Amino acid sequence: MFSTYIYDEFPLVKVVFEEGPKTMEDFEEFTNGWLDLYEKREMFTFLFDTTKMKDPAYKYAIKMSQFIRELKKKETQYLDKSVILINNNKIKYLLDAIFAIQKPVAPVYIYNINNDDIINENNINHIINHKDTLLISP
């Protein structure tokens, strides 16, 4: 499975990535989960955990950029912000490519996580304000 959505701490929604998408169906399952959140019409924050992803699928960078472009057309943006946890340069390069093509719909905070870090709703603000966190503005 490409991604798993965890809603235990809503409005914080954790998305854990195990590997890069292998098929278009994997990618669509991920984007459909995102669209399902918009249908709830409640503000939310994403915490994307990419630390288990070993082989990102670069070919989906353009698809992700197109998806973000379509999201921007929605009348209301329910995504407040995203925090993306990374631990390798491949993911960072993929994110750089996506956001070079299309700016995000909400602020994105990219944090290079140490394996000892424990991430939950209580320390999201710590990550956002950390000196090494990279901000990508809409």
85-104 residue pLDDT tens: 999 888 999 999 999 999 99
| pLDDT > 60? residue 114 | yes
**Alpha carbon 79 to chain centroid distance?**
11
The set of residues, in sequence order, having a beta carbon less than 8 Å from that of 114 and lying 6+ positions away, is none
| pLDDT > 60? residue 131 | yes
16-57 residue pLDDT tens: 998 777 788 989 999 999 999 999 999 999 999 998 887 777
Token readout for 68 is 């973000």
The residue written with tokens 């901000």 in the block is 135
Q: What is the pLDDT of residue 119?
A: 60
Q: What is the mean pLDDT of residues 3-11?
A: 94
Q: How far apart are CA 127 and CA 109, in angstroms?
A: 8
Banded pLDDT at 122 (limits 50, 70, 90): low
Of all residues in the chain, what percent carry a pLDDT higher than 90? 64
Q: How far apart are CA 41 and CA 135, in angstroms?
A: 25
Short-list 112, 17, 85, CA closest to 57: 17
Mean predicted lDDT score pLDDT of the chain: 90
